[in-house]
C-alpha cells in the first residue's frame, strides 16, 4: 500500500502540487480565523447562583436562603460539586457538573429547580442565575476619572457606558463596582409624624400609591381614536415634597411636613479606591463562556472609542487590566520560539545535508505540516493559545524526522546508484526502502502521545490541546513525507549534488573508530551507562513534584484581610493608606486599584474586611528591582507598617483558577468540616499555626469566619400582640431605619426612557443602638405611639462573618500560598505535620484541595496509560521487525532516554510537573524512532548479503547522519523555549529541559550501546 501511494505521488506530480497548494491556501485562511487566547478553555461546566437578601445576617441567609436552595439542587444529574457561601445580605451558590455536560442543559436544570423553591424564600430576595461566563471571564477593567462626584460617575457608567458594552458580541455582562447609586431619599421625622398622627404604614402606602402611570385604554371620537393614560409619576424632588400623605380635618399633610426629602444613595456593600487618591468607580467586562477573548476586548475598545464623543470631554476611562496584553505576550512568546526553532532546524538541515536544495526539500514539510495542523484545529474548534501553539513548537523538531529520513536516503541513493537508472526510479526505490520504518516510527510517536488524550479535569483541558496539535502535525508530516516530499526531491535533488559534507565524513570516521572501540571493549560504554542509571535513580528521588510552573502573567494582586468588624469607611481608609504607600514607595507600581467588599453582580462576594489590590506595574525595562520575587519582598517590607493585616500575593488568572478548582485563592486549601462554626474557626486557626513555620509556607491565611459584632433584637411577642401590632411591622420599621426600604422608582424629567432612580425610605441613622430604639415608635391599636425599646430586648454578641458549605456541610478554610518548594512535596510534609499535631473532635474532618490534586490525578492516569501505550508500541515494533528480541531491543532505548531527562531536571532545579511529563513522552517517541531507523538498517544490510562486523559498523555509520539530524533538530527546535522569558515560557521550559537532556543521553547510547547489544544478543543468534 505504501509503495502504491509513493508510486501514485511520483506519477501524478502535478496533481500532488495542486493539492498541496490548496492545502497551503486553506491552512492560511484557517489560521487567520482561529480564535486567539492565552489559555484553552479550562473551566468546568459551572452554574453560579447569586441571591441577594437585604438585611439578613449570614446565619439567616444560610437558614432561609442557602439551605433551601441547596436541598432543591441536590440530585441534579451529572452534578459533581455543590458549594456555597453565605454572607451578610448575600449567598453565592456554585454547581460544577461533569466534563462534557452541555452548559445550556445544566442552566435549564438549575433554573427549573430554582423556580420551584423561589416562592418559599423571603419575599424581598432578588437575583438568580449569574451570567453565562466562566471564572476566567474577567477580561477588561477600567476606572472613570474626572472632576465628577461618585454619584455622577456611577450614573454615567450605569446608564451610558454599561448598556453599550453589554451589546458587544461575546460580553456576558459588565460588573460595576464602587461609586454611589443616587436615590430619592425620604427620611421620616418621628416627632413630626407623631404630632400629626401619621404612622409609618401611612407614609409607605402614600409613596407607593401616588407614584405611578397607567394606561386607561382607547377613546373613540368620531372617526378618530385617542389613547388615554394617566401620568401620575413623580419626576423631581419638588413634586415628591408636595406629595399629600394624609388628610386630617380638611388639611392636607404633605410629605415635606413629616420627612426630609433629599438625594441620597443606596446602601453600599463594597467600594473601590485608586492609589491613595480616594474612591473610584470601576467597570469590569465579563465575557461569555466560549467567547473569543481577543475579539471581545477589541469590540469593547471599539465601543468605548465610539462612545467617547458622547461622554463629557474631561471624563477619562483609564484601563488597568487588559487580558489582550497577556494574550499578545503569551502568543508572541510561543510564536517567536516557533520561528526561531524553524530557523535553527533549517540551519541544521543545511549543515547535515550539505546542499541547500536538499535542505529545502526537507524544510517544505514544516510550513505544510503547520497548515495541516491549523486546518484540523479549526475543525476541532480549538483556539490558538499558549498550549496549542506550544504543542506545535514542541513538534517542530519531530516534524522533519520523517522527511529527513526520506531525503537523506534519496541523497545517499542518488550518490551511489548507476547513472543509467532514471532519477525518478532511484527516488522511488529510496523512498520505498525507508517507508516502513518512517511509518512505524511516526506511528510510535503518535502512540506515546495518546495517553495525554486520556487526561481528565483541569490537566486534560490544558494538555489535550498540546497532544492534539502534536498528533495533527506529525500525521500531516508523515503523509507529506510519502507524497509531496518525494515529488519535490525529483526536481531539487540530483546525483551531482548528492554529496556528503566533509565535516559529516570526519564525524563518520570518528564514530566508526569509537564504535569499534566499544565493540572491542564493552565496559567503555556499559560502566558509564550503569553509573548514569544509578545517578538518575538518585536524582529522581531529589526532584520535587508539582502540577504546573507558575506563569508570570505580568500583573500582580495583593490580597489583604482586616479585622472582621471593620466598617466600610474604615476599610476604605486602610485601603487608601496601603495603596498610597505602594505607589509612593515602590516605583515599579504605577497604580494600585483596591476593591473591597462585594461587587454589583455578586460574582465575587468578599466581605468588607477583604480587599483585592490590583497592581498595575511599569514596563519591565523601567524596573529598578531584579524581578517579581524581589518586588514581593519589597511589598512585604512595606506591609510591616500596617500591623494586624493579613496579606497574600496572587495573579488575576491564577486567582480565578484556584477559586475554580477548590473555591479558594491559595495554592493549597485545608478545609475543616464540622457542624459548629466556633469549633471550625478554632481548628482552622490551629492548622494555620502548624503550617506557618513549615518550609515553603510563603503566606498562610486563616479565613476569619467569625468575630463580627451582632446586635440581636429579640421581639417580645406578648407585648407586640397586646399593643395590636405585628412582628412584620416591627421588622419593617427597623429595616427602614437602618438599611432603607425601596418603595418605588422615579424617572427624572429629561432622562431617556429606562433611566430611573430608586425611591427609598430611610431614617436618619442613629449614633448607637439606644438612640435607634428610642427614636423609633409604632402606633398601637388606639393610635398611641409605642417605642421600639418597649417591644424588643437587646443582646450584644459576636457571630459569623460568613458561612461556607460544601455538599451540604459547613467548613472553615486555611489558604496556603507556597513558594520556593515543590507543591506536592509541600503537601506531603504538611499532611504529615497535621496528622502528628492536630487532634480533631468527633464529627470533624479535614479535606485538602489545590492544584496538587491535578498533579496526582495526572500522574495516576499516565502511570496507567503509558504502559498501555508502550505495549502498543511493542506490537508496532514486532509487526515491523517480526522478532520479539529486536522489538525489545528498541524498547530498551526508553530507560536510556529517561536518564538524561531526569538528570537535566535535577541539575537545573526544575520540578517534575505535568509539562515535564509531556517532555518525557516526547522523548520516548524520538528515542524509539531512532532505534527503529538503526535496527532497520542492520536488517537491510543483512538482506543485501553483508556479513560479520560490517552489518553492525556499516549500518550504524550509514544511519549516523539521520539519527543525529533527528536528535539535533529535536533538541535545537526546543532551545528557543528553553531560553524564552515571556509569559508562558515557564510552562514550556520543563518540557524543553527534559527533551534536550534526554536526547543527549538517548542519542549517545543509541549510537553506541544499541549496536553493541544488537551484535551480542541478536546478530550472533542470527549467525549461529
Ramachandran quadrant class, 876 (left: phi over 0; alpha: psi -120 to 50; beta: rest) = alpha
What average pLDDT does the segment 162-166 reach? 92
Q: What pLDDT does residue 575 have? A: 92
3-state SS of 398-463 is: HHCHHHHHHHHHHHHHHHHCCCCCCHHHHHHHHHHHHHHHHHHHHHHHHHHHHHHHHCCHHHHHHH
Fold of domain 500-542+883-1023: Multidrug efflux transporter AcrB transmembrane fold (1.20.1640)
State the pairing for strand pair 757-761/182-188: parallel
Whether residue 664 is predicted with pLDDT greater than 60 in this model: the reply is: yes
Helix, strand, coil % in the chain, rounded to nearest 5: 55, 20, 25
pLDDT tens-digit profile of 127-157? 889 888 877 788 899 999 989 999 899 989 9
Check if the beta carbon of residue 226 is closer than 8 Å to that of residue 233: no
**Percent over 90 (pLDDT), the chain:** 16
- Does the domain at 41-130 match CATH 3.40.50.300? Answer given as no
A 10 A CB-CB count for 168 gives 21
Residue predicted with more confidence, 551 or 635? 635
* Half-sphere exposure for 973 (CA within 13 Å, toward CB): 26
Give me the chain's average pLDDT, please.
Answer: 84
Cα radius of gyration rounded to whole Å, the chain:
36
Half-sphere exposure of residue 174, counting CA atoms within 13 Å on the CB side?
25
Task: Tell me how far apart the alpha carbons of residues 544 and 913 are, in angstroms, rounded to a whole number.
Answer: 9
Residue in the structure block whose three cell numbers are 515543590: 822
Residue 680's φ and ψ, nearest 5 degrees, are -60, -40
Which range among 249-258, 312-321, 966-975 shows the weakest confidence by mean pLDDT? 966-975
Fold match between 1-33+354-492 and 500-542+883-1023? yes
476, 485 in Cβ contact below 8 A? no
Which residues partner with 83 through β-bridges? 94, 806
257-271, 495-509, 550-564: the lowest-pLDDT one: 495-509
Long-range own/partner contacts, residues 686-694 (CB < 8 A, 24 or more apart)? 686/838, 687/814, 687/834, 687/838, 687/846, 688/814, 690/833, 690/834, 690/837, 690/838, 691/814, 691/816, 691/830, 691/833, 691/834, 694/826, 694/829, 694/830, 694/833
Give the Cα separation of 880 and 892 in Å (integer): 16
| Stretch 621-628: mean pLDDT | 87
Nearest to 554 by CA among 39, 43, 981: 981
What pLDDT is recorded for position 661?
66
- pLDDT grade, residue 1021 (50/70/90)? low
What is the three-class DSSP state of 521? coil
Pick the range with the lowest mean pLDDT from 168-177, 605-614, 1010-1019: 1010-1019
Lowest mean pLDDT among 407-416, 691-700, 745-754, 990-999: 745-754
Quick one: pLDDT band at residue 1015, thresholds 50, 70, 90? confident
Cα dist from 866 to 150, 278, 453, 917, 928, whole Å:
60, 57, 11, 11, 14
Separation CA 29–CA 975 (nearest Å):
29
- The pLDDT tens digits of the residues spanning 345-402 come to 888 878 887 778 888 888 888 888 989 999 999 888 888 887 888 788 778 777 887 8
Q: Which one, of 710, 766, 713, lies nearest residue 738 by Cα? A: 766
For the record, the C-alpha cell of 333 comes out as: 512568546
Give the per-residue pLDDT at 251.
83
Q: Which residue has the cell 541539575?
A: 907
CB atoms within 10 A of CB 959: 24
Tens digit of pLDDT for each residue in 678-715?
888 889 889 989 998 888 888 888 887 777 788 888 88
Domain 183-215+230-265+709-800 part of CATH 3.30.2090.10:
yes
Which triple of cell numbers denotes residue 595? 476593591
871-883, pLDDT tens digit by residue?
888 888 888 777 8
3-state SS class at 257: helix
Residue 380 cell numbers, joined: 476541532
Instruction: Give tens-digit pLDDT for 417-432.
Output: 777 778 788 888 888 8
Query: Residue 746 forms beta bridges with which residues?
Result: 757
Note the pLDDT of residue 230.
Answer: 80
Residue 1024 pLDDT class (50, 70, 90 cuts) = very low
Q: CB under 8 Å to 962, separation ≥6 — which residues?
A: 404, 405, 408, 409, 933
Residue ranges per structural domain of the chain: 1-33+354-492, 41-130, 183-215+230-265+709-800, 500-542+883-1023
> Angle at which helices 2-11 and 13-33 pack, to 10 degrees?
100
Of 931 and 480, the one with more pLDDT: 480
Cell numbers found for residue 646: 493579613
* 260 against 713, higher pLDDT: 260
pTM, 2 dp: 0.81
Cβ neighbours around 843 below 10 Å, total: 10
Please compute the mean of the pLDDT values over residues 793-809 and round it to a whole number: 85
Is the pLDDT at 497 greater than 60? The verdict is no
Buried-state track 778-811, b at ≥16 Cβ within 10 A, e below 16 = bbbeeeeebebbebbeeeeeebbbbbbbbeeebb
Residue 116: pLDDT band by 50, 70, 90 thresholds?
A: very high
Q: Does domain 1-33+354-492 have CATH number 1.20.1640.10?
A: yes
Query: CB within 8 A of 404, min separation 6: which ones?
Result: 349, 362, 962, 965, 966, 969
Q: For residue 860, what pLDDT is reported?
A: 82
Cell of 169: 458580541
pLDDT confidence band for 961 (50 / 70 / 90): confident
Q: Which of 670, 613, 716, 646 is nearest to 838 (CA)?
A: 670
Contacts of 625 (CB under 8 A, 6+ apart): 588, 631, 634
C-alpha span between 490 and 414 (Å, rounded): 11
Phi and psi torsions of 648, nearest 5°: -155, 165
Amino acid at each position: 500500500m505504501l509503495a502504491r501511494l509513493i508510486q501514485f505521488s511520483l506519477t501524478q506530480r502535478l496533481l500532488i502540487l495542486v493539492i498541496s497548494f490548496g492545502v497551503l491556501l486553506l491552512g492560511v485562511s484557517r489560521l487567520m480565523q482561529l480564535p486567539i487566547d492565552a489559555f484553552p478553555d479550562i473551566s468546568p461546566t459551572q452554574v453560579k447562583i447569586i441571591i441577594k437578601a437585604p438585611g439578613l445576617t449570614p446565619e439567616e441567609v444560610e437558614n432561609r436562603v442557602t439551605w433551601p436552595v441547596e436541598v432543591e439542587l441536590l440530585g441534579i444529574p451529572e452534578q459533581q460539586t455543590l458549594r456555597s457561601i453565605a454572607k451578610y445580605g448575600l449567598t453565592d451558590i456554585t454547581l460544577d457538573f461533569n466534563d462534557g455536560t452541555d452548559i445550556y442543559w445544566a442552566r435549564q436544570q438549575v433554573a427549573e429547580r430554582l423556580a420551584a423553591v423561589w416562592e418559599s424564600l423571603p419575599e424581598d430576595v432578588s437575583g438568580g442565575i449569574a451570567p453565562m461566563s466562566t471564572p476566567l471571564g474577567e477580561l477588561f477593567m477600567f476606572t472613570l476619572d474626572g472632576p465628577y462626584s461618585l454619584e455622577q460617575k456611577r450614573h454615567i457608567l450605569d446608564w451610558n457606558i454599561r448598556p453599550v458594552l453589554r451589546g458587544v458580541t461575546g460580553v456576558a455582562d459588565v460588573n460595576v463596582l464602587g461609586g454611589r447609586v443616587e436615590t430619592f431619599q425620604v427620611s421620616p421625622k418621628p416627632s413630626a409624624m407623631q404630632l400629626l398622627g401619621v404612622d409609618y404604614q401611612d407614609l409607605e402606602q402614600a409613596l407607593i400609591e401616588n407614584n405611578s402611570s397607567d394606561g386607561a385604554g382607547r377613546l373613540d371620537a368620531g372617526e378618530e381614536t385617542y389613547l388615554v393614560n394617566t401620568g401620575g409619576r413623580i419626576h423631581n424632588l419638588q413634586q415628591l415634597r408636595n406629595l399629600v400623605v394624609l388628610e386630617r380635618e380638611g388639611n392636607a399633610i404633605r410629605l415635606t411636613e413629616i420627612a426630609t426629602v433629599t438625594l441620597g444613595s443606596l446602601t453600599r456593600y463594597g467600594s473601590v479606591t485608586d492609589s491613595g487618591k480616594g474612591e473610584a468607580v470601576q467597570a469590569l467586562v465579563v465575557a461569555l463562556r466560549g467567547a473569543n477573548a481577543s475579539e471581545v476586548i477589541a469590540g469593547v475598545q471599539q465601543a468605548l472609542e465610539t462612545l467617547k464623543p458622547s461622554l463629557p470631554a474631561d471624563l477619562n476611562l483609564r484601563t488597568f487590566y487588559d487580558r489582550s496584553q497577556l494574550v499578545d505576550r503569551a502568543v508572541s512568546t510561543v510564536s517567536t520560539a516557533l520561528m526561531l526553532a524553524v530557523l535553527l532546524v533549517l540551519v541544521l538541515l543545511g549543515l547535515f545535508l550539505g546542499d541547500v536544495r536538499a535542505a529545502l526539500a526537507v524544510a517544505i514539510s514544516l510550513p505544510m505540516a503547520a497548515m495541516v495542523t491549523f486546518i484540523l484545529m479549526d475543525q476541532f474548534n480549538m483556539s490558538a493559545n499558549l498550549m496549542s501553539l506550544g504543542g506545535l513548537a514542541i513538534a517542530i523538531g519531530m516534524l522533519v524526522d520523517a522527511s529527513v529520513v526520506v531525503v537523506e536516503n534519496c541523497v545517499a541513493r542518488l550518490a551511489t546508484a548507476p547513472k543509467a537508472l532514471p532519477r525518478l526510479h532511484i527516488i522511488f526505490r529510496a523512498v520505498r526502502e525507508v517507508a516502513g520504518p518512517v511509518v512505524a516510527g511516526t506511528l510510535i510517536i503518535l502512540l506515546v502521545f495518546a495517553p495525554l488524550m486520556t487526561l481528565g479535569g483541569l490537566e486534560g483541558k490544558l494538555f489535550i490541546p498540546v497532544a492534539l496539535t502534536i498528533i495533527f502535525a506529525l500525521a500531516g508530516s508523515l503523509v507529506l513525507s510519502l507524497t509531496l516530499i518525494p515529488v519535490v526531491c525529483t526536481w531539487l535533488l540530483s546525483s551531482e549534488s548528492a554529496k556528503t559534507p566533509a565535516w559529516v565524513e570526519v564525524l563518520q570516521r570518528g564514530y566508526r573508530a569509537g564504535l569499534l572501540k566499544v565493540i572491542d571493549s564493552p565496559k567503555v560504554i556499559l560502566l558509564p551507562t550503569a553509573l548514569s542509571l544509578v545517578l538518575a535513580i538518585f536524582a529522581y528521588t531529589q526532584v520535587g513534584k508539582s502540577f504546573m510552573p507558575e506563569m508570570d502573567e505580568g500583573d500582580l494582586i495583593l490580597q489583604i484581610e482586616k479585622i472582621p468588624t471593620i466598617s466600610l469607611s474604615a476599610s476604605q481608609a486602610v485601603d487608601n493608606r496601603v495603596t498610597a504607600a505602594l505607589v509612593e514607595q515602590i516605583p515599579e507600581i504605577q497604580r494600585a486599584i483596591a476593591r473591597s467588599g462585594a461587587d454589583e453582580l455578586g460574582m465575587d462576594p468578599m466581605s468588607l474586611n477583604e480587599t483585592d489590590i490590583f497592581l498595575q506595574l511599569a514596563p519591565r525595562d523601567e524596573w529598578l528591582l531584579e524581578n517579581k520575587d524581589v518586588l514581593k519582598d519589597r511589598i512585604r517590607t512595606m506591609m510591616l507598617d500596617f500591623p494586624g493585616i493579613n496579606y497574600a500575593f496572587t495573579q488575576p488568572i491564577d486567582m480565578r483558577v484556584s477559586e475554580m478548582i477548590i473555591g479558594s485563592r491559595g495554592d493549597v486549601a485545608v478545609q475543616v468540616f464540622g457542624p459548629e462554626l466556633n469549633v471550625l474557626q478554632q481548628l482552622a486557626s490551629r492548622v494555620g499555626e502548624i503550617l506557618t513555620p513549615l518550609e515553603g509556607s510563603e503566606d498562610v491565611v486563616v479565613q476569619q469566619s467569625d468575630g463580627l459584632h451582632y446586635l440581636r433584637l429579640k421581639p417580645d411577642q406578648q407585648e407586640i400582640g397586646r399593643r395590636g401590632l405585628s412582628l412584620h411591622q416591627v421588622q419593617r420599621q427597623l429595616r427602614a431605619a437602618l438599611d432603607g426600604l425601596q418603595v418605588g422608582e422615579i424617572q427624572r424629567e429629561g432622562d431617556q426612557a429606562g433611566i430611573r432612580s430608586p425611591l427609598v425610605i430611610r431614617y436618619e441613622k442613629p449614633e448607637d443602638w439606644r438612640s435607634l430604639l428610642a427614636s423609633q415608635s409604632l402606633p398601637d391599636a388606639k393610635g398611641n405611639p409605642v417605642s421600639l425599646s418597649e417591644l424588643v430586648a437587646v443582646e450584644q454578641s459576636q457571630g459569623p462573618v460568613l458561612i461556607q458549605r460544601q455538599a451540604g456541610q459547613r467548613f472553615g478554610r486555611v489558604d496556603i500560598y507556597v513558594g520556593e518548594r515543590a507543591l506536592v512535596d509541600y503537601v506531603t510534609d504538611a499532611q504529615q505535620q497535621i496528622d502528628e499535631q492536630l487532634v480533631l473532635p468527633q464529627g470533624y474532618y479535614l479535606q485538602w484541595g489545590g492544584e496538587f490534586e491535578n498533579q496526582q490525578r495526572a500522574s495516576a492516569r499516565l502511570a496507567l496509560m503509558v504502559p498501555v501505550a508502550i505495549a502498543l508500541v511493542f506490537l508496532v515494533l514486532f509487526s515491523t521487525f517480526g522478532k520479539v528480541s529486536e522489538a525489545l531491543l528498541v524498547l530498551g532505548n526508553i530507560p536510556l532516554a529517561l536518564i538524561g531527562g531526569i538528570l537535566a531536571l535535577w541539575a537545573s532545579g526544575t520540578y517534575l510537573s505535568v509539562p515535564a511529563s509531556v517532555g518525557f513522552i516526547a522523548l520516548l517517541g524520538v528515542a524509539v524512532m531512532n532505534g527503529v531507523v538503526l535496527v532497520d538498517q542492520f536488517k537491510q544490510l543483512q538482506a543485501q548479503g553483508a556479513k560479520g562486523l560490517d552489518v553492525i559498523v556499516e549500518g550504524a555509520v550509514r544511519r549516523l547522519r539521520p539519527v543525529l539530524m533527528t536528535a539535533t533538530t529535536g533538541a535545537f527546535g526546543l532551545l528557543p523555549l528553553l531560553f524564552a522569558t515571556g509569559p508562558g515560557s515557564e510552562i514550556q521550559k520543563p518540557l524543553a529541559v527534559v527533551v534536550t537532556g534526554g536526547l543527549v543521553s538517548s542519542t549517545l547510547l543509541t549510537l553506541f550501546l544499541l549496536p553493541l547489544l544488537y551484535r551480542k544478543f541478536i546478530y550472533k543468534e542470527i549467525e549461529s
